Amino acid sequence: FDPAPLMRARDAAAVTVRQARRRPSELHGARGLAERIRPVLASLADPAVGAPAEGPARDRVRELLAAAATVLDAAARAIRRGDPLDLPAPALAVLQAPDLPEVLRGAPLRAARRLAALLADVLETADPRSGRTADPAESMLRPSLAGLVPLVLRDVRAELRPGSPILRHAVRVTAVACAGYLIGQELPFGHGYWAPMTSVMVMRPDFTQTWSRAVARFAGTLVGVGVATAIVQLAQPGMYLSGLLAVVSAALMYVLMRTGYAVGQLFLSAYVVFLLGMGGVRWDQTVPDRIALTLVGGVLAMVAYAVYPAWETPRLRDRLADWLAAVGRYAAAVLEQYADPAGARRANVRETLLAARDARIAWQEALARAAGEPVRHRGLSRAAADGAGEALAAAGRHAMLLEAHLPDRAHEPVPGAAELAAALRRATEEGAKAVRERRVPEWDGVRELLPEGDAPGSAVLRGAAEQLLDALDELSEALRS
């Protein structure tokens, strides 16, 4: 089937989620709507649980997805700019078409109706006259300095723990700044503060960024100082011309700083040479000092990371295990909705979904940092990490498909859903423990509890649960490699 409409609709929903995260509490309803829309879009597009891959039903699904993308784009634009909602009539007509029951049946029809209801809520939220949107002049202002104090104290308390990479980074920066200052004062150069300043500027909580910034700073400093010194030696500029060159260097630094750290350092070093030249300081009194102290500061930063490291590579299995457990809790929370449609708490699904997303982001960030570390994989190779990440991402998508077909509160409980939810929660917790202990998790106990029969909801539940278990099997295969 043509994935273009789904891609447009999914991207529009993702943009709405990202924008909502930067909005005040008055607009958090739009974020919740976008999060509920995403699984519905996925269920409509997936032939396994939605409409067939070909035929009139698939054509109608394509029209629905394209119309949903148009509606979401218009709503996001209205919320972002505070303008009146401008919705194309054809898109709204597709979502309100009365022939849906004649074209769609079963799960796709329920998903289409749910999509239409959710998009109606989106339109109401995006309409400035609805009272749900906030006045940008009042509610979207940044907090004052006094208002930031409790937020800062909360974040500091959260990082005061032995395993915190932020705390380790703070200790490294403090030690290196003090050592750099003492070394800079003892060396026979002026401007001894350049060494600790270099260390503080290049140090980051992870090794990869620290290494790349240290190399970029030294290379940029070397080139910038060399070019500026050559200009000073050849042109012999006076005070006013040196001042003009310093202003030009500062302007180029601000204009080009986003192109790379090395480029910014190049023009910053040239600015320093021209600025000192205005005061009559000779080039041989500044160039050796800056180069030597920059090198000292960079070396101190790397030595600090070697002495007191915070490698991500040895912790990759822990990050993967956390993601596996989070996906298991999310899938179990969805299955519990099938087991008890009337009494299950709907908010549990959203809470576990957000936790699973946080765990996935933590895994991706850790994997990116570990890629540049000079440390062996210690039991989780790059290929295994990539395969395991893809498998868990697929498991999360299949759980999202289950969420898209949640039964109404008046629906009868689906037989076997409660036992499957408990078994999946238990198996993923045990699987997370196995991942941490360098063992391969097994899922046979969960597969034995897949629902059988023709009870309402059993077919959708079994189809999506089988896909979920297939993804978990792929995770085990990746860890065996």
**pLDDT tens-digit map of 78-101:** 777 666 777 777 777 776 664 566
What total of structural domains would you count in the chain?
3
Tell me, yes or no, whether 322 and 460 share the same domain: yes
Tell me, yes or no, whether 238 and 330 share the same domain: no
For 345, the domain range is 313-480
Tell me, yes or no, whether 23 and 102 share the same domain: yes
pLDDT over 60 (residue 123): yes
Tell me, yes or no, whether 391 and 444 share the same domain: yes
Local structure of 31: helix, strand or coil: helix
The residue among 356, 381, 359 whose CA lies nearest residue 370 is 381
Tell me, yes or no, whether 217 and 186 share the same domain: yes
CA 398, CA 395: separation in Å to the nearest integer?
5
**Confidence band, pLDDT 50/70/90 cuts, at residue 321:** very high
**Confidence band, pLDDT 50/70/90 cuts, at residue 23:** very low
Can you give the CATH number for the domain in which 452 is found? 1.20.58.220
Residue carrying structure tokens 């765990």: 359
Classify residue 147: in a domain, yes or no. Answer: no
The residue among 327, 325, 326, 347 whose CA lies nearest residue 337 is 347
CA 414, CA 455: separation in Å to the nearest integer?
7
Q: Is 74 exposed, middle or buried (0-12, 13-18, 19+ CB in 10 A)?
A: buried
CA 203, CA 167: separation in Å to the nearest integer?
13
Classify residue 161: in a domain, yes or no. Answer: no
Which phi-psi region, left, alpha or beta, contains residue 367 (left: φ > 0; alpha: ψ -120 to 50)? alpha
CA 289, CA 283: separation in Å to the nearest integer?
10
In order, the DSSP letters of 63-84 are HHHHHHHHHHHHHHHHHHHTPP
The residue among 266, 261, 275 whose CA lies nearest residue 227 is 266
Classify residue 154: in a domain, yes or no. Answer: no
Q: What's the confidence (pLDDT) of residue 287?
A: 72
Tell me, yes or no, whether 268 and 318 share the same domain: no
Tell me, yes or no, whether 461 and 317 share the same domain: yes
Tell me, yes or no, whether 213 and 262 share the same domain: yes
CA 472, CA 415: separation in Å to the nearest integer?
23
In the predicted model, what is the mean pLDDT of the chain? 79
Classify residue 40: in a domain, yes or no. Answer: yes
Tell me, yes or no, whether 281 and 319 share the same domain: no
Which helix H or strand E contains 159, and what residues bound it?
helix 145-159
Tell me, yes or no, whether 59 and 84 share the same domain: yes
Final residue in a domain of this structure, among 262, 288, 307: 307
Q: What's the confidence (pLDDT) of residue 25?
A: 38
Tell me, yes or no, whether 254 and 134 share the same domain: no
The answer to whether residues 446 and 475 touch, using CB atoms and an 8 Å cutoff, is no
Q: How many CB atoms lie within 10 A of CB 314?
A: 16
Final residue in a domain of this structure, among 307, 332, 366: 307
Classify residue 148: in a domain, yes or no. Answer: no
Using one digit for the tens of pLDDT, what is the confidence trace for 106-120? 777 777 777 787 877
Q: What's the confidence (pLDDT) of residue 21?
A: 46
pTM value is 0.64
Q: How many CB atoms lie within 10 A of CB 22?
A: 8
Q: What is the mean pLDDT of residues 203-224?
A: 85
Using one digit for the tens of pLDDT, what is the confidence trace for 254-294? 998 888 888 988 998 888 888 877 776 666 666 777 788 88
Tell me, yes or no, whether 200 and 118 share the same domain: no
